[in-house]
Amino acid sequence: VKWTEGRGWHDAQLTPYAPLSIDPANMTLHYAQEIFEGLKAYRRPDGSVATFRPDANARRFQLSARRLAMPELPVETFIDACDALVQQDKAWVPEHGGEASLYLRPFMFANEVGLGVRPANEYLFIVIASPAGPYFPGGVKPVSVWLSENYVRAVPGGMGFAKTGGNYAASLLAQAEAAAKGCDQVVWLDALEHRTVEEMGGMNLYFVYGDKIVTPELTGSLLAGITRDSLLSLARDLGYESAEGRITTDQWKRDTENGSLTEVFACGTAAVITPVGTVKSTGGEWTQSNGEPGKVTMELRKALLDIQTGKAEDKHGWMHELG
Ligand code: PMP
């Protein structure tokens, strides 16, 4: 779908996958006016296909668009485009039974040629798809994390809450630092004091205190994950208390050592839920749940996947069925 100043959205098309031809002066290449989303389509026991909360992705896409001075795509247009692609590629949605899915990548970028810094007058919205295998083919394994103090992902007033390529470009060096420390993932801290926990590379974090789960509050500099939001409700359905709050790195270490913080996990569209094992930081190193996936973590993981794959009742109306 195309957006042109004065004309709005027009020319929706379903076309075979093919390279785009880009002018060297395309404004996106220079000024990064680009946003994207990620969501999955799952096969259900009866063979039908459904996507998980595409309306939530559509609304987050609008928030991202507003932050990057781009036009907002109507929620229905976003969902219709995803639906049309999934219908077309239905054969690529993996069989019911595992955790495999068809991953959808909607994105929008400035499509105007020019070298001046200003919002573009033309944009393209495109959705592509790719089959995604199970995130953990050999069984769920805890990830090790590095608490980054040298780099920040986003600053107050910045673009942290938007899903834009620049945030991911900013994370690459920190991810390399985490790898050099022997860790799988970087954990982002607040920009000013490097004390408050924000999120992981491409996932949000949850802290399990017995039967209460807490996730970092939305400060404006972390992404409002749709999995994160879903778990606030799902945990309550399962009898846990759930809350948003502020967790500092000192507290993380102290509460693990005194036994009150029983598990930590990360959540996002890609891995659904991933246990956190070893934590490394300038303030020391410690391990959650003896390096094993925690009980609450795995219970929530199963509950969410069961809804997504159609094995459990969808009480919240999260699944968007395509037939
Ligand atoms: N934080 C970041 C930085 C991410 O890239 C993602 C993945 N979209 C998430 C959190 C998790 O969000 P969601 O649950 O919507 O996939």
Q: Name the residue at shortest CA distance from atom 10 of ligand 1.
A: 203
Query: In the predicted model, is pLDDT for residue 139 greater than 90?
Result: no
Instruction: Determine whether the shortest distance from the Cβ of 268 to ligand 1 is under 6 A.
Output: yes
Distance from first CA to last CA of the chain, Å, rounded? Answer: 24
Instruction: Determine whether the shortest distance from the Cβ of 199 to ligand 1 is under 6 A.
Output: yes
Q: Which of 189, 219, 269 to mutate to test the pocket of ligand 1 (most atoms within 8 A of CB)?
A: 269
* Beta carbons within 8 Å of 157's beta carbon, 6+ residues apart: 220
Q: Name the residue at shortest CA distance from atom 12 of ligand 1.
A: 225
Instruction: Determine whether the shortest distance from the Cβ of 166 to ligand 1 is under 6 A.
Output: no
- Kind of pairing between the strands at 122-132 and 2-4: antiparallel
Percent of the chain topping pLDDT 90: 95
- Kind of pairing between the strands at 319-321 and 185-189: unpaired
Using one digit for the tens of pLDDT, what is the confidence trace for 251-305? 999 999 999 999 999 999 999 999 999 999 998 999 999 999 999 999 999 999 9
**Residue 3 bridge partners (DSSP):** 9, 123
Q: Measured between alpha carbons, how far is 271 from 275 in angstroms, rounded to an integer?
A: 10
Query: In the predicted model, is pLDDT for residue 25 greater than 90?
Result: yes
Using a cut of 0.90, tell me whether the model's pTM lies above it: yes
Using one digit for the tens of pLDDT, what is the confidence trace for 207-259? 999 999 999 999 999 999 999 999 999 999 999 999 999 999 999 999 999 99
Q: Measured between alpha carbons, how far is 298 from 302 in angstroms, rounded to an integer?
A: 6
Q: Measured between alpha carbons, how far is 172 from 226 in angstroms, rounded to an integer?
A: 23
Instruction: Determine whether the shortest distance from the Cβ of 74 to ligand 1 is under 6 A.
Output: no
Residue 119 has a CB neighbour count (10 Å cut-off) of: 15
Residue 303 has a CB neighbour count (10 Å cut-off) of: 19
User: What atom of ligand 1 comes closest to residue 57's alpha carbon?
Assistant: 15
Instruction: Determine whether the shortest distance from the Cβ of 175 to ligand 1 is under 6 A.
Output: no
What's the mean pLDDT in 79-89? 98
Closest to 141 measured CA to CA, from 315, 317, 293: 293
Q: Measured between alpha carbons, how far is 269 from 51 in angstroms, rounded to an integer?
A: 11
Instruction: Determine whether the shortest distance from the Cβ of 164 to ligand 1 is under 6 A.
Output: no
From the CA of 201, how far away is ligand 1's center (Å)?
A: 8
Query: In the predicted model, is pLDDT for residue 323 greater than 80?
Result: no
Domains parsed from the chain with CATH numbers:
2-132 (3.30.470.10), 143-308 (3.20.10.10)
